[in-house]
Structure 1
Amino acid sequence: MNYITVCADIVFALETSCSVDDETKALAKVFIYDFVTTFDSVKQQNVSNVATQFGLLAYDATSRIVFTFSDALSKLEILHKIEMFKMETTDCKTLTHNAINMARGDFFESAFNDRRTPDVLVVLTDGRTQPKKYIPETTDAIQKLRETVRTIVIELPNKKGRELLPDTIEQLNTLAEAKDRFKLDKDSDIEDIATEVFDHLLEKSEYVCPPGRFYLRSPTN
Protein backbone atom coordinates (compact mmCIF):
# COMPACT_ATOMS: atom_id res chain seq x y z
CA MET A 1 0.00 0.00 0.00
CA ASN A 2 1.27 3.50 -0.84
CA TYR A 3 1.64 5.89 2.05
CA ILE A 4 2.01 9.65 1.95
CA THR A 5 4.06 12.30 3.69
CA VAL A 6 4.91 15.98 3.36
CA CYS A 7 7.44 17.39 0.90
CA ALA A 8 8.28 21.05 1.57
CA ASP A 9 11.05 23.47 2.44
CA ILE A 10 10.41 24.19 6.12
CA VAL A 11 12.12 26.79 8.30
CA PHE A 12 11.64 27.10 12.05
CA ALA A 13 12.00 30.57 13.60
CA LEU A 14 12.34 30.15 17.37
CA GLU A 15 11.95 33.19 19.61
CA THR A 16 14.55 33.27 22.40
CA SER A 17 13.77 36.66 23.97
CA CYS A 18 13.17 37.37 27.66
CA SER A 19 9.39 37.39 27.18
CA VAL A 20 9.42 33.59 26.85
CA ASP A 21 10.67 31.68 29.89
CA ASP A 22 13.30 28.97 29.71
CA GLU A 23 10.83 26.14 30.39
CA THR A 24 8.69 27.24 27.46
CA LYS A 25 11.70 27.55 25.16
CA ALA A 26 12.64 23.99 26.07
CA LEU A 27 9.12 22.82 25.18
CA ALA A 28 9.37 24.65 21.86
CA LYS A 29 12.59 22.84 21.09
CA VAL A 30 10.92 19.51 21.89
CA PHE A 31 8.16 20.41 19.43
CA ILE A 32 10.69 21.07 16.67
CA TYR A 33 12.41 17.76 17.43
CA ASP A 34 9.14 15.81 17.46
CA PHE A 35 7.93 17.49 14.28
CA VAL A 36 11.09 16.60 12.36
CA THR A 37 10.86 13.06 13.74
CA THR A 38 7.47 12.74 12.04
CA PHE A 39 9.08 13.01 8.58
CA ASP A 40 10.63 10.19 6.60
CA SER A 41 11.01 12.41 3.53
CA VAL A 42 14.10 14.41 4.55
CA LYS A 43 16.20 15.28 1.51
CA GLN A 44 19.37 13.23 1.14
CA GLN A 45 22.62 14.83 0.08
CA ASN A 46 23.39 14.55 -3.66
CA VAL A 47 19.93 13.11 -4.36
CA SER A 48 17.72 15.16 -6.66
CA ASN A 49 14.32 13.71 -5.78
CA VAL A 50 11.56 15.91 -4.38
CA ALA A 51 11.77 15.77 -0.59
CA THR A 52 11.73 17.91 2.56
CA GLN A 53 14.44 20.33 3.64
CA PHE A 54 14.66 21.87 7.11
CA GLY A 55 16.27 25.03 8.42
CA LEU A 56 16.33 26.62 11.86
CA LEU A 57 16.98 30.17 13.03
CA ALA A 58 16.69 31.75 16.47
CA TYR A 59 15.82 35.35 17.15
CA ASP A 60 15.40 38.04 19.78
CA ALA A 61 17.21 41.36 19.23
CA THR A 62 19.39 39.53 16.72
CA SER A 63 18.62 36.69 14.33
CA ARG A 64 21.07 33.83 13.85
CA ILE A 65 21.10 30.70 11.74
CA VAL A 66 21.38 27.35 13.53
CA PHE A 67 21.36 25.30 10.33
CA THR A 68 20.23 25.98 6.78
CA PHE A 69 19.32 24.17 3.57
CA SER A 70 22.88 24.44 2.26
CA ASP A 71 24.13 22.29 5.16
CA ALA A 72 22.37 19.33 3.49
CA LEU A 73 21.97 17.54 6.82
CA SER A 74 20.52 14.06 7.20
CA LYS A 75 17.51 13.56 9.46
CA LEU A 76 19.74 12.25 12.25
CA GLU A 77 22.09 15.22 11.88
CA ILE A 78 19.16 17.62 12.02
CA LEU A 79 17.83 16.00 15.18
CA HIS A 80 21.29 16.18 16.74
CA LYS A 81 21.60 19.88 15.86
CA ILE A 82 18.22 20.57 17.45
CA GLU A 83 19.09 18.59 20.55
CA MET A 84 22.43 20.39 21.01
CA PHE A 85 21.12 23.89 20.28
CA LYS A 86 21.47 26.15 23.32
CA MET A 87 18.73 28.74 23.35
CA GLU A 88 20.62 31.67 24.81
CA THR A 89 19.01 35.10 24.85
CA THR A 90 21.27 37.72 23.28
CA ASP A 91 18.97 40.60 24.25
CA CYS A 92 15.47 41.05 25.64
CA LYS A 93 14.15 42.81 22.53
CA THR A 94 12.08 40.84 20.03
CA LEU A 95 12.78 42.15 16.53
CA THR A 96 10.52 39.78 14.64
CA HIS A 97 11.00 41.51 11.29
CA ASN A 98 14.71 40.61 11.28
CA ALA A 99 13.84 36.91 11.67
CA ILE A 100 11.25 37.05 8.90
CA ASN A 101 13.66 38.81 6.55
CA MET A 102 16.38 36.27 7.37
CA ALA A 103 14.00 33.40 6.63
CA ARG A 104 13.14 34.93 3.28
CA GLY A 105 16.64 35.99 2.22
CA ASP A 106 18.82 33.23 3.65
CA PHE A 107 16.46 30.31 3.13
CA PHE A 108 13.49 30.74 0.80
CA GLU A 109 15.25 32.99 -1.73
CA SER A 110 18.56 31.14 -1.56
CA ALA A 111 19.99 28.96 -4.33
CA PHE A 112 19.37 25.92 -2.12
CA ASN A 113 15.60 26.39 -1.97
CA ASP A 114 13.83 23.66 -3.94
CA ARG A 115 11.44 25.46 -6.29
CA ARG A 116 9.51 22.21 -6.82
CA THR A 117 8.15 22.17 -3.27
CA PRO A 118 6.13 24.72 -1.25
CA ASP A 119 7.77 26.88 1.41
CA VAL A 120 6.65 26.93 5.05
CA LEU A 121 7.82 29.16 7.91
CA VAL A 122 6.99 27.81 11.38
CA VAL A 123 7.30 30.63 13.93
CA LEU A 124 7.47 29.63 17.60
CA THR A 125 6.66 32.82 19.49
CA ASP A 126 4.45 34.60 21.99
CA GLY A 127 3.59 36.86 19.06
CA ARG A 128 4.82 40.11 20.55
CA THR A 129 7.34 42.37 18.81
CA GLN A 130 9.29 44.49 21.30
CA PRO A 131 9.79 47.45 21.31
CA LYS A 132 6.36 48.15 19.86
CA LYS A 133 7.76 50.79 17.49
CA TYR A 134 8.97 47.87 15.33
CA ILE A 135 5.50 46.38 14.81
CA PRO A 136 5.06 48.14 11.42
CA GLU A 137 8.35 46.59 10.26
CA THR A 138 7.08 43.16 11.34
CA THR A 139 3.80 43.73 9.49
CA ASP A 140 5.58 44.79 6.29
CA ALA A 141 8.02 41.86 6.45
CA ILE A 142 5.38 39.20 7.08
CA GLN A 143 3.03 40.54 4.40
CA LYS A 144 5.83 40.35 1.84
CA LEU A 145 6.82 36.85 2.99
CA ARG A 146 3.27 35.52 2.92
CA GLU A 147 2.95 36.34 -0.77
CA THR A 148 4.95 33.16 -1.47
CA VAL A 149 5.45 31.37 1.87
CA ARG A 150 2.87 29.72 4.12
CA THR A 151 3.25 30.67 7.77
CA ILE A 152 2.37 28.50 10.74
CA VAL A 153 2.61 29.84 14.28
CA ILE A 154 3.17 27.79 17.41
CA GLU A 155 1.82 30.15 20.07
CA LEU A 156 3.95 30.21 23.22
CA PRO A 157 2.79 31.67 26.55
CA ASN A 158 4.17 35.10 27.39
CA LYS A 159 6.14 35.15 30.63
CA LYS A 160 4.01 38.03 31.92
CA GLY A 161 0.72 36.53 30.79
CA ARG A 162 0.18 38.93 27.89
CA GLU A 163 -0.85 36.34 25.31
CA LEU A 164 -4.55 37.28 25.51
CA LEU A 165 -4.10 41.05 25.21
CA PRO A 166 -5.75 42.58 22.12
CA ASP A 167 -2.44 43.80 20.70
CA THR A 168 -0.96 40.30 21.06
CA ILE A 169 -3.91 38.75 19.21
CA GLU A 170 -3.63 41.41 16.51
CA GLN A 171 0.06 40.62 16.00
CA LEU A 172 -0.62 36.87 15.90
CA ASN A 173 -3.31 37.47 13.27
CA THR A 174 -0.69 39.26 11.19
CA LEU A 175 1.77 36.36 11.49
CA ALA A 176 -0.63 33.60 10.42
CA GLU A 177 -4.28 32.80 9.83
CA ALA A 178 -6.17 31.41 12.83
CA LYS A 179 -6.39 27.95 11.21
CA ASP A 180 -2.59 27.92 10.93
CA ARG A 181 -1.94 28.65 14.62
CA PHE A 182 -1.45 26.07 17.37
CA LYS A 183 -1.02 26.63 21.11
CA LEU A 184 1.85 25.09 23.06
CA ASP A 185 2.27 25.24 26.84
CA LYS A 186 3.38 23.09 29.78
CA ASP A 187 0.13 21.10 29.68
CA SER A 188 0.40 20.24 25.99
CA ASP A 189 1.01 16.80 24.56
CA ILE A 190 3.83 17.97 22.30
CA GLU A 191 3.97 14.84 20.20
CA ASP A 192 0.24 15.18 19.46
CA ILE A 193 0.70 18.82 18.41
CA ALA A 194 3.58 17.86 16.12
CA THR A 195 1.40 15.21 14.49
CA GLU A 196 -1.51 17.65 14.23
CA VAL A 197 0.61 20.21 12.40
CA PHE A 198 1.99 17.51 10.08
CA ASP A 199 -1.52 16.28 9.24
CA HIS A 200 -2.65 19.89 8.80
CA LEU A 201 -0.09 20.33 6.02
CA LEU A 202 -1.24 17.12 4.36
CA GLU A 203 -4.74 18.57 4.01
CA LYS A 204 -3.49 20.52 0.97
CA SER A 205 -2.40 18.42 -1.97
CA GLU A 206 0.57 20.61 -2.89
CA TYR A 207 2.31 19.53 0.32
CA VAL A 208 1.97 15.82 -0.43
CA CYS A 209 5.09 14.12 -1.81
CA PRO A 210 4.86 12.81 -5.38
CA PRO A 211 3.85 9.15 -5.76
CA GLY A 212 6.39 6.43 -6.30
CA ARG A 213 7.86 5.99 -2.84
CA PHE A 214 6.59 4.26 0.29
CA TYR A 215 6.16 6.35 3.40
CA LEU A 216 5.27 5.77 6.99
CA ARG A 217 2.17 7.94 7.14
CA SER A 218 -1.23 6.61 6.12
CA PRO A 219 -3.32 8.68 3.69
CA THR A 220 -5.78 11.27 5.01
CA ASN A 221 -9.11 12.19 3.48
Structure 2
Amino acid sequence: MACMRIPRCQFWCALQFLLLLQTNVFCFQHKVGDLDAWGIPTDSNKNVYAKWSKNQEFKIGDSLFFLYPPSQDSVIQVTKEAYRSCNMKDPILKLNDGNSLFNITEKGEFFFTSEEEGHCGKGQKLYISLLGNASYAESPDYSPSASAPSYPTVFGSIPAQSSSSTSSSSMIKVPFSVAALAGLFICAMMRGLI
Protein backbone atom coordinates (compact mmCIF):
# COMPACT_ATOMS: atom_id res chain seq x y z
CA MET A 1 0.00 0.00 0.00
CA ALA A 2 2.86 2.38 0.79
CA CYS A 3 4.31 1.79 -2.67
CA MET A 4 1.09 3.00 -4.32
CA ARG A 5 1.09 6.24 -2.34
CA ILE A 6 4.53 7.35 -3.56
CA PRO A 7 3.68 7.32 -7.31
CA ARG A 8 0.43 9.15 -6.56
CA CYS A 9 2.33 11.74 -4.58
CA GLN A 10 4.86 12.12 -7.37
CA PHE A 11 2.00 12.54 -9.84
CA TRP A 12 0.35 15.27 -7.74
CA CYS A 13 3.65 17.04 -7.12
CA ALA A 14 4.51 16.89 -10.83
CA LEU A 15 1.04 18.20 -11.70
CA GLN A 16 1.41 21.09 -9.26
CA PHE A 17 4.86 21.89 -10.61
CA LEU A 18 3.55 21.95 -14.20
CA LEU A 19 0.70 24.24 -13.17
CA LEU A 20 3.18 26.62 -11.59
CA LEU A 21 5.31 26.66 -14.73
CA GLN A 22 2.37 27.15 -17.09
CA THR A 23 0.58 29.84 -15.15
CA ASN A 24 1.90 33.38 -15.07
CA VAL A 25 -1.07 35.72 -15.05
CA PHE A 26 -0.83 39.48 -14.65
CA CYS A 27 -3.87 41.70 -14.88
CA PHE A 28 -4.05 45.44 -14.47
CA GLN A 29 -6.83 47.68 -13.29
CA HIS A 30 -6.46 51.00 -15.10
CA LYS A 31 -8.02 54.02 -13.39
CA VAL A 32 -9.37 56.02 -16.32
CA GLY A 33 -7.86 59.50 -16.31
CA ASP A 34 -5.58 58.79 -13.33
CA LEU A 35 -5.92 61.75 -10.92
CA ASP A 36 -8.42 63.48 -13.20
CA ALA A 37 -10.83 60.53 -12.80
CA TRP A 38 -13.92 60.39 -15.09
CA GLY A 39 -15.50 63.76 -15.76
CA ILE A 40 -15.75 66.66 -18.19
CA PRO A 41 -12.24 67.65 -19.32
CA THR A 42 -11.08 71.15 -18.42
CA ASP A 43 -10.35 73.75 -21.11
CA SER A 44 -6.65 73.43 -20.37
CA ASN A 45 -6.72 69.63 -20.67
CA LYS A 46 -9.35 68.82 -23.33
CA ASN A 47 -7.63 65.62 -24.48
CA VAL A 48 -7.09 64.17 -21.01
CA TYR A 49 -8.53 60.74 -21.94
CA ALA A 50 -6.63 60.49 -25.23
CA LYS A 51 -3.38 61.41 -23.47
CA TRP A 52 -4.12 59.01 -20.64
CA SER A 53 -4.96 56.08 -22.90
CA LYS A 54 -1.85 56.59 -25.05
CA ASN A 55 0.27 56.02 -21.93
CA GLN A 56 -1.46 52.75 -21.05
CA GLU A 57 -0.90 49.24 -22.31
CA PHE A 58 -4.19 47.35 -22.39
CA LYS A 59 -4.54 43.59 -22.71
CA ILE A 60 -7.14 40.90 -22.25
CA GLY A 61 -7.78 40.35 -18.55
CA ASP A 62 -7.29 44.02 -17.67
CA SER A 63 -10.12 46.21 -16.46
CA LEU A 64 -10.97 49.89 -16.75
CA PHE A 65 -11.93 51.62 -13.50
CA PHE A 66 -14.14 54.68 -13.92
CA LEU A 67 -14.34 56.84 -10.77
CA TYR A 68 -16.96 59.62 -10.64
CA PRO A 69 -19.74 61.01 -8.41
CA PRO A 70 -22.74 58.74 -9.14
CA SER A 71 -25.23 61.57 -8.66
CA GLN A 72 -23.50 63.66 -11.35
CA ASP A 73 -22.21 61.26 -13.99
CA SER A 74 -22.20 57.78 -15.52
CA VAL A 75 -20.36 55.66 -18.08
CA ILE A 76 -21.88 54.02 -21.12
CA GLN A 77 -20.34 51.73 -23.68
CA VAL A 78 -21.55 52.71 -27.13
CA THR A 79 -21.13 51.77 -30.78
CA LYS A 80 -18.59 53.39 -33.07
CA GLU A 81 -21.32 55.48 -34.71
CA ALA A 82 -22.73 56.62 -31.36
CA TYR A 83 -19.22 57.55 -30.22
CA ARG A 84 -18.68 59.74 -33.29
CA SER A 85 -22.03 61.49 -33.07
CA CYS A 86 -22.35 61.56 -29.26
CA ASN A 87 -25.64 59.68 -29.55
CA MET A 88 -26.35 58.30 -26.09
CA LYS A 89 -29.55 56.41 -26.94
CA ASP A 90 -29.49 52.62 -26.68
CA PRO A 91 -26.06 52.10 -25.05
CA ILE A 92 -24.56 48.63 -25.05
CA LEU A 93 -23.71 48.89 -21.37
CA LYS A 94 -24.60 51.45 -18.71
CA LEU A 95 -22.61 51.86 -15.50
CA ASN A 96 -23.71 54.42 -12.91
CA ASP A 97 -22.51 53.43 -9.44
CA GLY A 98 -19.54 55.82 -9.27
CA ASN A 99 -16.99 52.97 -9.03
CA SER A 100 -17.53 51.25 -12.35
CA LEU A 101 -15.36 48.47 -13.72
CA PHE A 102 -15.25 47.25 -17.30
CA ASN A 103 -13.41 43.98 -17.88
CA ILE A 104 -11.57 43.54 -21.15
CA THR A 105 -12.34 39.93 -22.00
CA GLU A 106 -11.38 39.78 -25.67
CA LYS A 107 -9.75 41.72 -28.48
CA GLY A 108 -11.69 44.49 -30.17
CA GLU A 109 -12.52 48.17 -30.11
CA PHE A 110 -14.23 49.75 -27.12
CA PHE A 111 -16.01 53.12 -27.08
CA PHE A 112 -17.09 54.85 -23.86
CA THR A 113 -18.72 58.17 -23.02
CA SER A 114 -20.86 59.79 -20.35
CA GLU A 115 -24.62 59.47 -20.56
CA GLU A 116 -25.08 62.97 -19.14
CA GLU A 117 -26.28 65.57 -21.64
CA GLY A 118 -23.45 67.59 -23.18
CA HIS A 119 -20.58 65.68 -21.56
CA CYS A 120 -19.66 63.71 -24.70
CA GLY A 121 -19.54 66.87 -26.82
CA LYS A 122 -17.15 68.41 -24.29
CA GLY A 123 -14.68 65.54 -24.74
CA GLN A 124 -15.70 63.10 -22.02
CA LYS A 125 -15.21 60.00 -24.11
CA LEU A 126 -12.67 57.22 -24.39
CA TYR A 127 -11.64 54.91 -27.22
CA ILE A 128 -9.36 51.92 -26.82
CA SER A 129 -8.56 49.10 -29.19
CA LEU A 130 -7.01 45.71 -28.69
CA LEU A 131 -6.37 44.43 -32.17
CA GLY A 132 -3.57 42.00 -32.88
CA ASN A 133 -0.89 41.84 -30.19
CA ALA A 134 -0.88 45.54 -29.30
CA SER A 135 -3.32 47.92 -27.71
CA TYR A 136 -4.09 51.26 -29.25
CA ALA A 137 -5.73 54.40 -27.98
CA GLU A 138 -6.68 57.52 -29.86
CA SER A 139 -7.99 61.01 -29.23
CA PRO A 140 -11.71 61.71 -28.72
CA ASP A 141 -11.89 63.15 -32.23
CA TYR A 142 -10.68 59.86 -33.72
CA SER A 143 -12.94 58.39 -36.31
CA PRO A 144 -12.15 54.74 -37.11
CA SER A 145 -12.33 53.59 -40.72
CA ALA A 146 -15.52 52.06 -42.02
CA SER A 147 -13.73 48.74 -42.53
CA ALA A 148 -12.73 48.46 -38.87
CA PRO A 149 -14.30 45.43 -37.18
CA SER A 150 -17.02 46.04 -34.65
CA TYR A 151 -16.04 45.49 -31.03
CA PRO A 152 -17.30 42.59 -28.94
CA THR A 153 -20.18 42.93 -26.53
CA VAL A 154 -18.76 40.37 -24.14
CA PHE A 155 -17.98 41.93 -20.80
CA GLY A 156 -18.22 41.09 -17.16
CA SER A 157 -18.10 42.70 -13.81
CA ILE A 158 -15.86 42.34 -10.81
CA PRO A 159 -16.17 43.94 -7.38
CA ALA A 160 -15.33 47.62 -7.07
CA GLN A 161 -11.81 48.70 -6.15
CA SER A 162 -11.33 49.28 -2.44
CA SER A 163 -11.03 52.91 -1.40
CA SER A 164 -7.75 52.23 0.41
CA SER A 165 -5.84 51.92 -2.88
CA THR A 166 -3.99 55.05 -3.96
CA SER A 167 -2.41 53.69 -7.12
CA SER A 168 -3.95 54.61 -10.46
CA SER A 169 -3.13 51.18 -11.90
CA SER A 170 -2.93 48.13 -9.73
CA MET A 171 -1.39 44.81 -10.63
CA ILE A 172 -3.12 41.65 -9.55
CA LYS A 173 -0.91 38.58 -9.48
CA VAL A 174 -2.78 35.33 -9.09
CA PRO A 175 -1.32 33.57 -6.02
CA PHE A 176 -0.24 30.23 -7.39
CA SER A 177 1.94 29.58 -4.36
CA VAL A 178 -1.34 28.58 -2.72
CA ALA A 179 -1.69 25.86 -5.36
CA ALA A 180 1.83 24.65 -4.60
CA LEU A 181 1.08 24.51 -0.88
CA ALA A 182 -2.12 22.61 -1.60
CA GLY A 183 -0.14 20.12 -3.67
CA LEU A 184 2.37 19.60 -0.88
CA PHE A 185 -0.50 19.15 1.58
CA ILE A 186 -2.07 16.49 -0.67
CA CYS A 187 1.30 14.72 -1.00
CA ALA A 188 1.73 14.73 2.76
CA MET A 189 -1.77 13.33 3.23
CA MET A 190 -1.11 10.56 0.69
CA ARG A 191 2.11 9.63 2.46
CA GLY A 192 0.20 9.40 5.70
CA LEU A 193 2.14 12.18 7.36
CA ILE A 194 -1.02 14.15 8.18
**Normalised TM-score (structure 2):** 0.26
Q: Which structure shows the bigger proportion of residues in strand conformation?
A: 2
Larger radius of gyration: 2
**Normalised TM-score (structure 1):** 0.24
